[in-house]
Amino acid sequence: MVTAEEAERWIGYLEETMRSGRFFHAISGLSLWVASQGEEKVHICCSDSLNDKEAQSMTQNTPSPEENMAQLRELALRLLAPPFDPEARQPQLLVGSLPASLPFDLPLPDSCQIVGSFVRNSETIQIVLDTEQTPAEVIAFYTERMRVTGWSEPDFQRRQRQRESGFVHTFHGPTLFTTLCKGRRGPALMVSAFGGQGEGRKTEVRLNLDTRSRNSPCAQSSEIFMDVSAHIPPLEPPAGGRQWGGGGGSNSESASTAATLELESDMVLSLVVAHYARQLEQAGWQRTGEGSSGPMGWHTWEFHDKENEHWLGVFSILRIPGMERTYYLQVNINWVGNRAQ
């Protein structure tokens, strides 16, 4: 057994030696075999019984870059289109390019970079690209460009263009999506735009082309797609805080969302509660009550949605015992409708 210091010294030695090509090295009864191409590490094997003949055989079996790429493509395709997927019919994975033919004219943002395409079958295609545009600009681009040729958002989508509601996760950028249809039976274009984290990060765009007339996203009822949790406004953490999801759910009359909050510095519980209360008030919610007890605080609320339906809400926060500056957050809403009259 070698010490950590000896191990670091050997790793440095191996990395320097690998730049020159393939080699076989034996020392102190420990055999190391490394295959490399340029600076790219291909395979490393460690054994106490590897002989020269075995090492030579492993070196000869090292796949070429072309073989590695083919194997990688085959693996990705099998993960995307498993044998139990009934929709996967003659699937194709295209790296850095579009399919040879598309079912309809598809505009692309200026200076975008095509990451690749996945053709599940002749009716469903997914395209991934990067662009300098923001998620909001991407959605506006496709909404306007497709409208010129007779496409439009279905009724349910006009109210659901912004996916993010409830506690905003700080580990990823803003996410927007929309569905565009050319008639109730399609075809459909689903656009998702994921904002990059950090300065200089591009927006990732995923385009789903769906030409199925049966089970088309355009033919679905708006009630099926209505997400009650969208009534909960996006809730940002305090400055410097980190916030990540803790689950949630919804049905036709209620919704809940939860998250964990980790603050960068100490903050009085009442100020944390007030931070979220201001955001709910800005969304048109009206406070009906409040309270606190030890590590816990809460507010009760009411609001009316765009259809003037009456809702009740509860915001609660709990300082997690034993975890410094860490809180559990939750918002629940319930439809009361005519029951309040």
**pLDDT for residue 243:** 87
User: What gap in Å lies between CA 52 and CA 194, rounded to an integer?
Assistant: 51
Which pLDDT belongs to residue 32?
Answer: 39
**Cβ pair 39, 14 in contact under 8 A:** no
What pLDDT tens digit does each residue of the chain (341 aa) get?
444 554 455 455 445 544 444 333 333 333 333 333 343 333 444 444 445 555 555 555 677 888 888 888 888 888 888 888 888 888 999 999 999 999 999 999 998 999 999 999 999 999 999 999 998 899 999 999 999 999 998 876 665 544 457 888 775 566 778 899 998 888 999 999 988 766 668 899 999 999 987 778 887 654 444 567 788 998 999 988 888 877 778 787 899 999 999 998 999 999 999 999 999 999 999 999 999 999 999 999 999 988 889 999 999 999 998 888 999 999 999 998 754 44
The type of residue at 188 is A
Q: What is the C-alpha separation between 4 and 13, in angstroms, rounded?
A: 14
Domains of the chain: 4-62 (no CATH), 67-220 (no CATH), 228-340 (3.30.310)
Query: 3-state SS string over 268-287?
Result: CHHHHHHHHHHHHHHCCCEE
Q: Which two tokens stand for residue 294?
A: 């030890």
The pLDDT, as a whole number, for residue 304 is 92
- Concatenate the DSSP letters of all residues of 274-335 into one string: HHHHHHHHHTT-EEEEEEEETTEEEEEEEEE-TT--EEEEEEEEEEPTTSTTEEEEEEEEEE
Sign, CA dihedral 82-83-84-86, equals positive
Contact status, residue 269 vs residue 328, Cβ threshold 8 Å: no
Angle CA 147–152–158, to nearest 5: 125
- What lies within 8 Å, CB to CB, of 335 at 6+ separation is 228, 252, 253, 254, 309, 310, 311
pLDDT at 88: 87
What does DSSP assign to residue 234? P
Q: What is the pLDDT of residue 89?
A: 87
